[in-house]
């Protein structure tokens, strides 16, 4: 057993959405006072946390195959008389709970996204029992974890995530999030502003506000009033040193007038919005319980474009939802063709146990779903390429975040969240620099310092 002075190694692997990335960082923050420092590899870690995603079947399967790969490291450590705690966190933990302990007897702890502030106590409990006690914690505590988590202390690059809202009350019929994350909760305005100031003081220039339904944000302001996301963004923009603001993920129904106006007025708010629509067919949107028609989506896009003419959009699509006919799918293609996206993600529908859609009739044959996905993806890739190529010859500000794939390259993000790489010295990392774009590809841009 190590003494408190000795650093213990913590390996965290993260799947799923940006919220999980943020949470993984916060788990490391909670464990730091206990002597845990993050390490890049699981081999000799004292604690391994798999922060999991339950959104589609494939995501869930990955957890068990990864657990299988980590197990021999635990055995090897045990043979040396050392201990490795294995924990499953995140949305699979919340959804599967005890089942994970049953299926993987070498897992010590399973805990859901709302319990991370209880980590020190949970770790103490498993360790006290000399490895015999195993823990499942899938409670939804009445006190928000945000009130109890320590101040974040991780080392950040120039761009950071900040969770402002968590959970979802929308209950789209295909989606597990309302069950794994619980009901909507918005952090108070001051807590958000304080965290933003600390991030900016530590050198962060870009903040992405996170929420499963971030534009449904309704946090309590210091004036006692309830603030929407637009007002929060305006307050953030007043903080000196914050150059870029983004937010994700939004629901089309929650784009209110003030938020749309903010896109026209706030210089720091980037001209790029991820706005998932899922389908272009009113029949399918209804079956998905999205509670709006395609028309509303077109209207929101038009209003945003009126407020900020250079804004670009990305979206999420599901193909092969139960009951989706050829015509419904054509409507999705039409929507994509009309809007012209800068990028988009598309997925084959995956039935999730316990969701209303999982028992719907009219299953789409996997082969047909596959064909539709390929058609949609090729349409989207074409739009993405056209969008990226439209910047050739133009200069754009890029926030450089990391070394590129090849030696001598550095990589960063444009206002439109495009990945841009150039050949330049690493001194440029952490700064926003103007780049002359020379070439546009499906997923990136290449240029030179302007």
> Interface with ligand SF4 by CB under 6 A: which residues?
168, 170-172, 175, 177-178, 212-213, 251
185-186 and 165-166 as β-strands: parallel, antiparallel, unpaired?
antiparallel
| Nearest of 62, 137, 76, 128 to residue 106 by alpha carbon | 76
Q: How far is the CB of 226 from ligand SF4 (least distance, A)?
A: 20
Q: How far is the CB of 200 from ligand SF4 (least distance, A)?
A: 29
Q: Is 20 in the site for ligand F3S (CB under 6 A)?
A: yes
Task: Enumerate residues 204-223 that contact ligand F3S by CB under 6 A.
Answer: 212
Q: Is 181 in the site for ligand F3S (CB under 6 A)?
A: yes
The residue among 178 and 404 lying less far from ligand SAH, judged by its C-beta, is: 178
Rounded CA separation 125/147 (Å):
22
Q: Which does 347 bind (CB under 5 to 8 A by kind): ligand SF4, ligand SAH, ligand F3S, none?
A: ligand SAH
Site string for ligand F3S, 79-118 (x = CB under 6 A): -----------xx---------------------------
Rounded CA separation 244/208 (Å):
8
DSSP string, 59-106: HHHHHHHHHHHHHHHHHHHHHTT---EEEEEHHHHHHHTHHHHHH-TT
Report how many residues bind ligand F3S under the rule CB under 6 A. Answer: 14
Query: 274, 314 in Cβ contact below 8 A?
Result: yes
User: For residue 48, what are the β-bridge partners?
Assistant: 11, 86
Binding region for ligand SAH (CB under 6 A): 55-56, 174-175, 177, 212-213, 249, 251, 276, 278, 316, 318, 347, 349-350, 352
Q: Is 276 in the site for ligand F3S (CB under 6 A)?
A: no
The residue among 93 and 119 lying less far from ligand F3S, judged by its C-beta, is: 93
User: For residue 110, what are the β-bridge partners?
Assistant: 88, 136
Q: Which does 316 bind (CB under 5 to 8 A by kind): ligand SF4, ligand SAH, ligand F3S, none?
A: ligand SAH
Output phi, psi for 53, to 5 deg.
-125, 140
Task: Enumerate residues 49-68 that contact ligand F3S by CB under 6 A.
Answer: 53-55
Query: 444, 420 in Cβ contact below 8 A?
Result: yes
Q: Which does 180 bind (CB under 5 to 8 A by kind): ligand F3S, ligand SAH, ligand SF4, none?
A: ligand F3S
DSSP string, 342-390: SEEEEEE----TTSGGGG-S-PPPHHHHHHHHHHHHHHHHHHHHHHHHT
Residues making contact with ligand F3S (CB under 6 A): 16-17, 19-20, 53-55, 90-91, 176-177, 180-181, 212
């Amino acid at each position: 057993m190590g003494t408190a002075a000795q650093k213990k190694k913590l390996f965290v692997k993260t799947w799923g959405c940006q919220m999980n990335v943020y949470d993984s960082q916060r788990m490391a923050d909670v464990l730091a006072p206990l002597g845990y420092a993050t390490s890049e590899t699981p081999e000799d870690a004292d604690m391994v946390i798999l922060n999991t995603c339950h959104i589609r079947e494939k995501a869930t399967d990955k957890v068990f195959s990864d657990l299988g790969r980590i197990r021999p490291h635990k055995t090897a450590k045990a043979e040396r008389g050392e201990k490795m705690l294995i924990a499953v966190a995140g949305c699979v933990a919340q959804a599967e709970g005890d089942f994970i302990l049953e299926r993987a007897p070498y897992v010590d702890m399973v805990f859901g996204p709302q319990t991370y502030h209880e980590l020190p106590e949970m770790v103490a409990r498993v360790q006290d029992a000399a490895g015999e006690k195993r823990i499942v914690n899938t409670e939804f505590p009445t006190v928000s974890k945000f009130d109890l988590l320590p101040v974040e202390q991780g080392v950040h690059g120039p761009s950071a995530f900040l969770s402002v809202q968590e959970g979802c009350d929308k209950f789209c019929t295909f989606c597990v999030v309302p069950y794994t994350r619980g009901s909507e909760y918005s952090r108070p305005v001051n807590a958000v502003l304080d965290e933003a100031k600390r991030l900016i003081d530590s050198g962060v220039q870009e903040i992405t506000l996170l929420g499963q339904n971030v534009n449904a944000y309704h946090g309590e302001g210091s004036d006692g009033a309830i603030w929407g996301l637009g007002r929060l963004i305006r307050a953030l923009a007043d903080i000196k040193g914050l150059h870029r603001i983004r937010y994700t993920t939004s629901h089309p129904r929650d784009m209110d007038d003030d938020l749309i106006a903010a896109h026209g007025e706030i210089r720091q708010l980037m001209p790029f919005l991820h706005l998932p629509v899922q389908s272009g067919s009113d029949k399918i949107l209804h079956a998905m319980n999205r509670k709006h028609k395609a028309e509303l989506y077109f209207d929101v896009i038009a209003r945003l474009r009126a407020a900020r003419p250079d804004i670009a959009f990305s979206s999420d699509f599901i193909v092969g939802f139960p009951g989706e006919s050829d015509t419904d799918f054509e409507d999705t293609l039409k929507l994509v063709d009309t809007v012209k996206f800068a990028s988009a993600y598309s997925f084959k529908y995956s039935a999730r146990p316990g969701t209303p859609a999982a028992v719907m009739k009219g299953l789409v044959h996997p082969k047909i779903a596959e064909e539709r996905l390929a058609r949609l993806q090729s349409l989207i890739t074409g739009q993405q390429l056209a969008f990226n190529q439209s910047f050739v010859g133009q200069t754009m500000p890029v926030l450089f975040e990391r070394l590129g794939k090849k030696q001598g390259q550095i990589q960063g993000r444009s206002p439109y969240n495009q990945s841009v790489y150039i050949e330049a010295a690493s001194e440029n990392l952490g700064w926003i620099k103007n780049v002359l774009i020379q070439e546009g590809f499906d997923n990136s841009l290449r240029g030179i310092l302007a």
